[in-house]
Structure 1
Amino acid sequence: MANCKNCNSTISEEDNYCNECGAKIIKERITLKSLFSHLLVALGWDSNFVVTLRYLIYKPQVVIQEYINGTRKKFANPFSLLAIITAISVFTFSQYSEQYKLMSKNLGTEQIEKSETLAPTIDKSNIKEAPIFGYKNQDEFSDSINVFSLKYYNLMVFFFLPFYTLIARIVFGNPYNFGEHLVTNIYLQSILSFLGLLSFILSLTISVNLFFSFIMLLPILYYSYTYKKLYQLTFGQLLLRIFKFVGVLLLLFLIPVLIGFFWGYITK
């Protein structure tokens, strides 16, 4: 016999929980593994996360359809999944912030070099030194964007979710409502953030910038694949939806720009 360390009531050696206060009886010593496990549990992690990530990679429509249809125990909660992945991403990016900035800078240099190859007659020698949006040059502007992205990455992911969901609702519509499209986009953003994090870590390991190229191309392909499966679209139908998506995206971006120009015109 022994006493509960929380309420001091009597417990037996076979008990796993105290009959009085309900506290779990801790018998093992603290290890790094146990600390990490407790941290994941506190964040909402469970064994279904690995299963969910695996399914999202090759059968995303199964996760989405089953969750929407009411199967909630088989797969991880989409909000918890996204919150944990973005938290891990922010931690990783902050630990390697200089490498993150260097990857972004190298990518910008590559884009300028490619544009010089495609249009060699245009003088681009002063592009990087030209002032932009109040900053001295392109490098200073890029650094400010990278600092902001590193600091508010998780908030940016959640902030843009309603925007992505609205576009998906307009482009694909029924039978899914806005809330169901939101769940779909949360799952898709979760796996894309996870794969983006893996590509970043791989880029650090092999010294090849896969990260930014990866996150620019993969979302288009992955979204197209998932919605094709969800709506059972033919290739032609999917292509039409992609054109519609681009049109809606441009329209939603142009509206605030036009409003800004109009407001500036009438108030100057």
Structure 2
Amino acid sequence: MSKHLTNINHCKNCGFQIDHYSFCPDCGAKKITKRITFKNLTQEFSDRFLNLDNSFIRTFIHLFTKPNIVIDGFINGLRKRYVNVFSYFAISLTIASLYSFILAKYKDVIFSNVFTDANQIKASKVASDFSFEYQSLISFLTIPVLALISRLVFLNYKKYNLTEHFVIYLYAYSHITMVISFITLPLILTVKNLSLILWIQFPVSIIYSAYVLKKLYEISIKKILLKTLLFSIIMAVLFVIFSIIVAIIMMKTGVMNGEATSSI
């Protein structure tokens, strides 16, 4: 079987004529002339994800070292150097889903190590089942909430509007989700006392978000500490309200005590 396709005269993505081009001048898509083989498939994977010069590795590293360049660059039109914010979010969801899939297989052991009360274990399992099942939806709903709180906290600054705060948290939330998944998964599978591991995730997320916002707004440590404190207070209040609402719903539906199941 021939390793080459027929001559490509038009871009398969947008239809633009590309007789003498390697990349489409209109949409930037690469001109593909060879059939897919295992060799070129693995080569493409290596180029996209394992090469230190590729945009994913660069984006991942720079969101640690200079997140302001990545995020502010995207907001102001820099779209080729780093991974698109929505693509980065999609990658983080994939990694988080794998993390949740593995975690779900060990949840009985995990909750038994963290909690001693049977009711606490049962409630934690119900909450974890809900979060695993609706993880993507929770992520989609969490980011706008974070963006709104952040905009309120920085209301006296006009540098970024609400939509731009949404972009900030798409990058920041996606990045910290991947980092936490990479760090905690091996610990969860090997460490017996997991309470510390589970409780450090929230402050780590807050600290990273504060670091990103400090870089973006170029403010002092004192100011970002005050902003972070205000952000944390608002988040804590909303979390308590949300927890109460969820607990009421669970009790009303009999999920907590198994009434819904036993009455059938």
TM-score by length of 1: 0.68
- Look up the SS of the partner of 1:72 in the other structure: coil
- Partner of 1:199 in structure 2? 183
* 1:116-156 per-position Cα deviation (integer Å, ceiling 9, x unaligned): xxxxxxxxxxxx24xxxxxxx22111111111222222221
Worse-matched range after superposition: 137-146 or 83-92 = 83-92
Partner of 2:165: 181
Task: Check conservation: 1:228, 1:234, Cα contact below 8 A.
Answer: yes
What residue number does 2:145 align with?
A: 163
Residue in 1 that maps onto 2:9: 19
Q: CA deviation at 1:36?
A: 8.4
- TM-superposed deviation, 1:20: 6.6
Match of 1:99 among 90, 106, 111: 106
Read off the aligned partner of 1:146 and give its amino acid letter: S
Q: Distance in 1 between matches of 2:73 and 2:35?
A: 38
Q: d(CA) in 2 for partners of 1:250 and 1:101?
A: 28
Residue in 2 that maps onto 1:263: none
> Which of 228, 246, 250 is the matching residue for 2:232?
246
Residue-by-residue CA offset, 1:207-245 (whole Å, 9 max, x unaligned): 364752441221121111111121122222122212322
Give the CA RMSD over aligned residues: 3.4
Task: Go from structure 1 to structure 2 and tell me whether the alpha carbon gap of 1:34 and 1:100 turns closer, same or farther (over 3 Å shift).
Answer: farther
Q: Pick one of 13, 28, 37 that aligns with 1:29.
A: 37
* Residue pair 2:107, 2:125 contacting (<8 A) in 1 also: no
Equivalent residue for 1:74, pick from 44, 68, 81:
81
Displacement of 1:59 in angstroms is: 1.5
How many residues are matched? Answer: 219
Change (3 A) 1:78 1:20: closer
1:57 has 2:57 as partner: no
TM-score between the two structures when normalised by the length of structure 2: 0.69
Report whether the alignment pairs 1:140 with 2:147.
Answer: no
Alignment check: 8 A CA contact 1:85 1:193 kept: yes
Alignment CA distance shift 1:219-1:25 (3 Å): same
Larger radius of gyration: 1
Aligned partners of 2:96 and 2:181 also within 8 Å: yes
Show the counterpart of 1:224. 210
Cα deviation, residue 178, structure 1 = 0.8
Contact preservation (8 Å) 2:147, 2:166: yes
SS of match in other structure, 1:25: coil
Percent of aligned pairs with the same residue? Answer: 27
